Amino acid sequence: MAEERAVSAIDDLRGRIDEIDAELVRLLNTRAECALAIGQAKQIAGLNVYQPGREAEVLAHVQAINTGPLDNAAIRRLFERVIDEARRLERLADLQ
């Protein structure tokens, strides 16, 4: 019985993860839309795609509000990837 309960708990948790992932994807795309809008504004303002000061602020912010269990280094690495992809999106938009 204990094994059955454990298996059913895993199924529930996996369902929950799928829901969270769907929400994450939605949020990441909403974030990407913001980044694209900023990219267009940067182009009009004649600013570079790469703004290291702003990227540092973003990374500092997400680490400051982090409550775990992911440690700050892990949060930093995850958001570095988010930023890398946003920058790529801005570059591709620039080409069009």
Partner 1 sequence: MVVVMQERATGEQVERVIAQLVEMGFDIHRSTGALRTVIGAVGRTSADPRLIELLDGVHEVLRITEPYKLASRTFKPENTVITVGDVRIGGDEVIVMAGPCSAESAEQVEAAAAAVKRAGAKVLRGGAYKPRSSPYSFQGLGGEGLQMLRGAADRHNLKLISEVMESSQISTIERYADILQVGARNMQNYTLLRDLGKSKVPVMLKRGISATIEEWLLSAEYILAGGNMNVMLCERGIRTFESYTRNTLDISAIPVVQHLSHLPIIVDPSHGTGRRDKVASMARAAVAAGADGLIIEVHCDPDHAMSDGAQSMYPAQFDRLMAELRIIAPAIGRSICLEPVARRGWSR
**Which of the residues 6 through 65 are near partner 1 (CB under 8 A)?**
48-50, 52, 55-56
Cβ 31 to partner 1 shortest distance, Å: 17
Computed on alpha carbons and rounded to an integer, the radius of gyration of the chain in Å comes to: 18
DSSP label at 65?
T
List of residues 6+ apart from 40 with CB closer than 8 A: 93
Cβ 84 to partner 1 shortest distance, Å: 5
Residue of the chain from 12, 19, 33, 80 that contacts partner 1 (CB under 8 A): 80
Question: What separation in angstroms does the CA of 40 have from each of 4, 48, 93?
Answer: 54, 11, 8
Which parts of this chain interact with partner 1 (CB under 8 A)?
Answer: 48-50, 52, 55-56, 73, 76-77, 80-81, 83-84, 87-88, 91
